[in-house]
Structure formats: structure tokens, C-alpha cells
Amino acid sequence: MAKRTRSGTDSSNNNPSEIIPVLLDETTRQRYLNYALSVITSRALPDIRDGLKPVQRRILFSMFHNHRLVPDRPPIKSAKVVGSVIGEWHPHGDAAVYDAMARMAQPWSLRNTLVDGHGNFGSQDGDRPAAYRYTEARLTPLALELLNELNKNTVDFQPNYDGKAEEPLVLPARFPNLLVNGSTGIAVGMATNIPPHNLGEVIEAAIALIANRDASISDLMKYLKGPDFPTGGEILNNKTEIREMYETGQGSIRLRGEYEVKALDHGKSAILITSIPFAVDKSTIVERIGELIITKKVPQLVDVRDESTTEVQIALETQKDADPHLAMAYLFKHTPLQNNFSVNLTCLVPVPGSIVARPDCLNLKQMLEQFIDFRFVTVKRRFSYDLQVLEKRIHILNGFKLIFDALDQVLKIIRQSEGKADSANKLQQRFGLEPIQTDAILETPIYKLSRTEIKKMLDELADK
């Protein structure tokens, strides 16, 4: 049994502190459980609704809310974004925030980038981004599809870590970001590894499921053929294996780089590797091939060069009359040019009637169903908000309509009043207006009461 000391004054006696006996095993179990839940729900796993982890969500929200970094505005220093994120939304290290931000700007990491990075944000060779004082960033157009409906009461908000501001529980994503961009993370006792997919195929599958909620996973695979990795590569799994992966939420994708052969002079040929497996550093592949050439493990090859620019191109020169396909078969077996991507479709799923989410391993149909159900709620809330705004505007315009035929009397009442409150009371008594209507009238500039402006308001009321 352990003892815990609680500082402070006990109301029942004058002891400056109180020693409370606790069971060590129970306390340890509870503390570890709290830690595990914190890692699962607040760090490692993405939410099925917007496909983001908390740090990613807070970065995008800060760029949108704090800095208004929309695509048509100039980018700002990444240091400003990182500072606002850790200062107001995510009380953790700056390195973790910047790494997450940089990854969302890397086209070889995300199928569709959410951050438009300017400067050195790393490379496919595994080079790290430049320090955040050197790089700049703003949101991509696709990122706005996650954020644009925030101001229409589409999602719930919660207090930030110090209670001085509010952040969204999730973003009102207008596309299934988790399937589109995938995610990877390691929590306590569980992990996730969701492959990215083609945006158009995911949208088509979602539309098909909306049209037929009884559609099977085989039906959905008519539209969503399989994963689509940002670095390209050839998927070796057959349709049956991919379907089983989508049905169980777990499996393995066998992925290999693609190549083409070009004939050279004197019976030689060049092998051009044009894509590599996802999450593999290109420099690692080049170094490994170089080692095999030096040690004569692959006698068909004499040289390897990295000729990549914006596109991947690793050039291999062969011996005279050597079989390039035999050389590639050896490389696929002994280098990272072919590897396995372990699939685990684990994510946070909302609990009905609660703001919390629980981890669960879903199949493809369940992932789409969860997103569609979420969008039904957000669209309904958006329509409700738009209706309230419309009704409020109509109510205000009706107030203007009441006074337009008595403007001289309105101006006389205002001139003879002793302030805004007095003017509002007299206008309400004389014309039967409500406070929101009188406030709008009193805050209207005089030029807005011209004949032309009055006609515009009446036309607007008629249109609504």
C-alpha cells in the first residue's frame, strides 16, 4: 500500500496536510488507463469523420481561424503557425507540430496535400524539412473543403486546453478524408495503418452507398478498386485479397516499384525505375542497389544513378546482353523496391449521444457509412443555420418596410430622442417594432435610406 500526501488545510482539524492510504496496484492501473486513453483519443488515432488526428486538426484550424491562410492569400512563416498552434491549441512540443504540418505538405506522404508548403519541406530521399523560420505555408483548396462550413454551426466545439478559446471537436469535412489520405499511428495496445485512395473513386463509392444503403463491399469495389498510393507503385494483390482486406479491416498490400527498359548501344540496356513503394526513402533504395552492385550480388548491373527531378527516375545500366528483367527480379527480392503495407482500418468512431469517440476496426462499408451519417448531420445543421439567418434577415427587412412610408416621422423621433435607447423605445412603441429591428434601423447610415436603397431592400424582401 502506498501513501499519498495532499497539501492544504483539513476543515476537520488543523493538520497542514493529510496522508491518504491508496492501493498501489489500483492506482497504477488507473493512471496507466488514463494515459492509454489519452494517447488513443488525443494523439495517435484519426477520427472517421474528418480523417484527422488532433494535432493535424488543430494545425488546419489555426491556419484557417487564426491566420486566414486561404489559397488566394500569401503564405506566412511556418514559425507563426507553429507558435499559434502550441500557444493556443496544442500544448506539446514545436517539433511534433512542425513535423505533422510538414507531412501534410509533402505530396509523397499525402495522396492529396492539405498544406501548400513554400520552401524546403523535405524530400522523398528522407531529407528533413528546413527549420520553420525558413519555410512558409498556407492551406490548399482541398483543405478548405474540410473547413469552410465551420462558421455555420455544423459541428460542436469544446474549450481549448486553458479554457480561453474554443476548438472544433471535428472539422465539417465535405469529403471522406480518412479514406482519401489514409493515416498511420501507434497508440497503447493498438495501431492504425490506413492506405490512401483515389479521391474520385472514393466519392463515387460514397454516392453509390447513398443510393443503395444495402450495397455490399463487392458492389462498392466496382467504384473503389483499391488503394492508390501517392508514390505510385504496382499492387500485386488480386481482387479477392483486396476484398477480404476491405471486409475485415485488416490485411497486407504487396507493393512494388515500376520500371521500364530502354535499349542502348553495344547490346546494353537501361532500366528506369519510375515509381517506388509508399513510405520508402528513395535514397535507401539507391544505396541498397549500389551495395549489391559493388558486392557482385547482381552481376547483370554495372551502375546505378538517381536521375530524379520532380518525378522519380532511378537509372540502372546493365552488362552487355544481360537480362534486365532477371536483374529486377533479384532487386525486388533483396531491396525495398518491393515491400508489404500492413493494413489496419482502426479509427475513432463517434459514440451516439456523446461527444466522445471510441476506437474500432471498421470495414470499408462501415467507414463510408460513418462518414455519410456524419455528413447528413452536418448538412442538416447547415441548412438549419442558413434558415435562421434567412428568417432573421426577413424579419429585419419587414421592420424597414414598416418605416419606409413614414421616414420623416422616424427621423423626427430620432432627433427628439435623448440617445439610442430612447430612440429604440419610441420607435418600438410607435411602429410595433422589435428590438432586433430597431437596432438594424438605428445602425443604418442615412444614405441607405435613399429612394434607390429603399427599392433594393424591398426587392430583396420580395426575392426572399
Q: What is the CATH number of the domain that holds 80?
A: 3.90.199.10
* Residue 188, H or E segment: none
Residue 309 contacts by C-beta under 8 Å, 6 or more apart in sequence?
Answer: none
Quick check: is 378 in a domain?
Answer: no
> pLDDT at position 10, please?
46
- Which of 134, 161, 246, 330 is an active site residue? 134
Distance CA 364, CA 220 (A): 8
Are 414 and 420 contacting, i.e. CB atoms less than 8 angstroms apart? no
Distance CA 340, CA 255 (A): 6
| Cell numbers linked to 125 | 530521399
Beta strands in 135-221 (DSSP E): 136-139, 157-159, 166-168, 183-186, 191-194
Are 156 and 168 contacting, i.e. CB atoms less than 8 angstroms apart? yes
List residues bridging with 317 in a β-sheet: 270, 303
Nearest to 259 by CA among 272, 248, 269: 272
Say whether both 119 and 219 belong to one domain.
Answer: no
Alpha-carbon separation of residue 172 from 49, 149, 381 (angstroms): 8, 6, 11
Say whether both 74 and 138 belong to one domain.
Answer: yes
Q: Which residue has the cell 490548399?
A: 140
Quick check: is 422 in a domain?
Answer: yes
Say whether both 163 and 50 belong to one domain.
Answer: yes
Alpha-helical segments (H) within 40-117: 54-65, 78-84, 94-103
Say whether both 152 and 65 belong to one domain.
Answer: yes
In tens, the pLDDT along 212-222 reads 999 999 999 99
Say whether both 103 and 134 belong to one domain.
Answer: yes
Quick check: is 138 in a domain?
Answer: yes
Quick check: is 295 in a domain?
Answer: yes
Say whether both 124 and 217 belong to one domain.
Answer: no
For residue 211, give its domain range: 191-255+344-362
Q: Which residue has the cell 471522406?
A: 176
Alpha-carbon separation of residue 402 from 317, 346, 434, 442 (angstroms): 86, 59, 12, 14
Say whether both 56 and 167 belong to one domain.
Answer: yes
Quick check: is 184 in a domain?
Answer: no
Angle at CA of residue 440, ends 439 and 444, nearest 5°? 115
| Cell numbers linked to 129 | 524539412
pTM: 0.89
Distance CA 217, CA 212 (A): 12
CATH for 293: 3.30.1360.40
> pLDDT at position 15, please?
58
Residue 19: exposure state from Cβ atoms within 10 A (0-12, 13-18, ≥19): exposed
98 is catalytic: no
| Number of domains the chain contains | 5
Phi, psi of 239 (to 5 degrees): -65, -35
> pLDDT at position 38, please?
72
Sign of CA dihedral 263, 264, 269, 274: negative
Say whether both 94 and 69 belong to one domain.
Answer: yes
> pLDDT at position 81, please?
98
Say whether both 124 and 53 belong to one domain.
Answer: yes
Distance CA 47, CA 447 (A): 51
Say whether both 123 and 66 belong to one domain.
Answer: yes
Quick check: is 137 in a domain?
Answer: yes
- What's the number of CA atoms in the CB half-sphere (13 Å) around residue 148? 11
Quick check: is 381 in a domain?
Answer: no
Ramachandran bin of 188, using left for φ above 0, alpha for ψ from -120 to 50, beta for the remaining angles: beta
Say whether both 228 and 331 belong to one domain.
Answer: no
Say whether both 245 and 274 belong to one domain.
Answer: no
Q: What is the pLDDT along the chain (464 residues), one digit of tens a residue?
A: 555 544 444 444 555 568 888 888 888 878 777 776 777 777 789 999 999 999 999 999 999 999 999 999 999 999 999 999 999 999 999 999 999 999 999 999 999 999 999 999 999 999 999 999 999 999 999 999 999 999 999 999 999 999 999 999 999 999 999 999 999 998 888 899 999 999 999 999 999 999 999 999 999 999 999 999 999 999 999 999 999 999 999 999 999 999 999 988 877 899 999 999 999 999 999 999 999 999 999 999 999 999 999 899 999 999 998 999 999 999 999 999 999 999 999 999 999 888 889 999 999 999 999 999 999 999 999 999 999 999 999 999 999 898 888 888 988 998 889 889 999 999 999 999 999 999 999 998 888 877 787 788 888 888 87
| Cell numbers linked to 464 | 426572399
